[in-house]
Amino acid sequence: MIDCPAPELHSHSRVARRLAIAGCQVDFALDCMTERGSASAEAAWLAEHLVAARLGCEDRTVRVAPLQPSGRPVAMVRGRPAAVHVSVSHVGSMIAAAACDSAGIGIDIVDPTEAGRALDVWFTPDELALLPDDDGLLRARLWGAKEAAFKAARLDDGFRPRSVEIEHLGRTGFRWHVRGEHAAVCGQGIFTVADMHLVAMAVAADAAEAVACS
């Protein structure tokens, strides 16, 4: 998990970084939506900037749109599928996007004030015991990790939090495993903090590792 030079991104992006997660280069951006904007549209727009910067093409040639019926966002360049995976998240006025060309990517923003004990129904006793809750962020970490992992897995099943297992949890990273209806996917992830929110980012292991983890 090494910080690399930030990608060339639109100056509007408040945070724009390139990170290495489990050996995969991930570009991510965080921003606040405009006053009258739509969080979905602006998060997709942020993802389009990342894809354009990654591929070195013009922003206007890139579109990020939901694949139906799952809703998973996919990137297209001039109407053709782009060789870059994308993920977006929005909470309140915060929007975030991530892009990666070597692995499935998932990003999730969690407001820790909304990640209380009511979520415990989705966690196993083993998951709740993975890390002491010294800083009150245990549930935000577990929930963010599960949602980011679900997105990175690209299984296009419905989101079933208990089918996403968090196998290792640290303050800065996690390992995960998703049991889908037809396949299993595993991977790793990291956490970062921005504006009092926790941001989880997950990358899926490549196909060979995924077979090994199923």
Ligand X SMILES: CC(C)(COP(=O)(O)OP(=O)(O)OC[C@H]1O[C@@H](n2cnc3c(N)ncnc32)[C@H](O)[C@@H]1OP(=O)(O)O)[C@@H](O)C(=O)NCCC(=O)NCCS
Handedness of CA 165, 70, 198, 213 (dihedral sign): positive
Handedness of CA 134, 193, 175, 159 (dihedral sign): positive
Asked if 172 touches ligand X (CB under 6 A), the answer is: no
Amino acid at 192: T
Among 90, 139, 177, 197, which residue sits at the site for ligand X (rule: CB under 6 A)? Answer: 90
Handedness of CA 74, 77, 81, 86 (dihedral sign): negative
| In the complex, least distance from residue 119 CB atom to ligand X, rounded to whole angstroms | 12
3-class state of residue 145 by DSSP: helix
The residue among 66 and 136 lying less far from ligand X, judged by its C-beta, is 66
Among 69, 79, 81, 125, which residue sits at the site for ligand X (rule: CB under 6 A)? Answer: 69
Among 31, 127, 147, 165, which residue sits at the site for ligand X (rule: CB under 6 A)? Answer: 147
Question: Per DSSP, what are the bridge partners of residue 99?
Answer: 27, 86
Among 10, 15, 32, 40, which residue sits at the site for ligand X (rule: CB under 6 A)? Answer: 40
| In the complex, least distance from residue 70 CB atom to ligand X, rounded to whole angstroms | 4
Among 27, 108, 127, 165, which residue sits at the site for ligand X (rule: CB under 6 A)? Answer: 108
Which residue has the closest beta carbon to ligand X?
A: 40
Asked if 181 touches ligand X (CB under 6 A), the answer is: no
Closest CA to 88 of 97, 79, 80, 75: 97
Asked if 71 touches ligand X (CB under 6 A), the answer is: yes
Helix (H) or strand (E) holding 39: helix 39-55
Asked if 73 touches ligand X (CB under 6 A), the answer is: yes
Give the span between the Cα atoms of 108 and 202, in whole angstroms.
9
Applying CB under 6 A, the residues found at the interface with ligand X are 40, 43, 66, 69-73, 87-90, 108, 147, 150-151, 156-159
